[in-house]
Amino acid sequence: DGGRKQAIQILTGLTDGGYPTGHFRRSSLLSVYDKYLGYVWDVIQRSPSKSYQFAASDRPLRKPGYPYQTVIINGTCLDYLAESFMARNPLNGGGFVILNGIRVTDDGEVIDLEEPYPGGNLFSLASGGAIYIRDPFGKVSEEQLNGGEFSILSNKDWELIKPYLEENQHHFGITIEHLLGGLQPADVYRKIVPGAVRALQAEEARVHKAE
């Protein structure tokens, strides 16, 4: 798994990083990186391990080998994001995804996508976990979640995701300062949970208040 991790880090770093390409066209280099990333994915598909597994609509992830699984996506995503490994409360060992909604230009400039998530089924089938989506302008509507609901981003949530953003910064040079843009984390990142989870949390809060 160490070799797979190193290969993925190097190839994704080369793909996402902004750097001079000399007399080579960036598109030509990207096709090479994509080719070798494809080799890595093929190996993972043929020989999954504890840390790396291949998933598709007809081939969900196996039971996680760790207490939770975490994904950081600097761009955007398709529908039904990560629902195959979402389980439990992320503040109690559950899985979660950080969706930053940005892209890196050929010159290395980090800019916001027009829509952090353009689809209509972001979290419709999940039974647990959470998505932390960077959406400072509130462009994503609850209708796009199709069963999921927005929840308050607490200090504990920020303490949970900040180390992953720091690691993301280390690998790709996308600073937390840039992602926050001078705002507070709760004004930038929105937490999305399954609707039933939010209802349960509200009921638990009422019980504690009554006690």
The predicted-structure confidence for 11-66, as pLDDT tens digits, reads as follows 877 776 667 778 888 778 888 888 888 888 888 878 877 777 666 545 555 554 44
Low-confidence ranges of the chain (pLDDT < 70): 16-18, 53-68, 82-86, 124-126, 196-211
pLDDT for the residue 208: 46
Q: 134 forms bridges with which residues in the sheet?
A: 189
For 37, the enclosing helix (H) or strand (E) is helix 26-46
Contacts 24+ apart (CB under 8 A), 85-91: 85/55, 85/61, 85/129, 86/126, 86/127, 86/128, 86/129, 86/130, 87/127, 87/128, 87/129, 88/128, 88/129, 89/128, 89/130, 89/197, 90/129, 90/130, 90/157, 90/160, 91/156, 91/157, 91/160
pTM of the model: 0.67
Please name the residues in contact with 186: beta carbons below 8 A apart, sequence gap of 6 or more: 152, 153, 154, 158
Q: What is the DSSP letter of 65?
A: S
Length of the chain as a residue count: 211
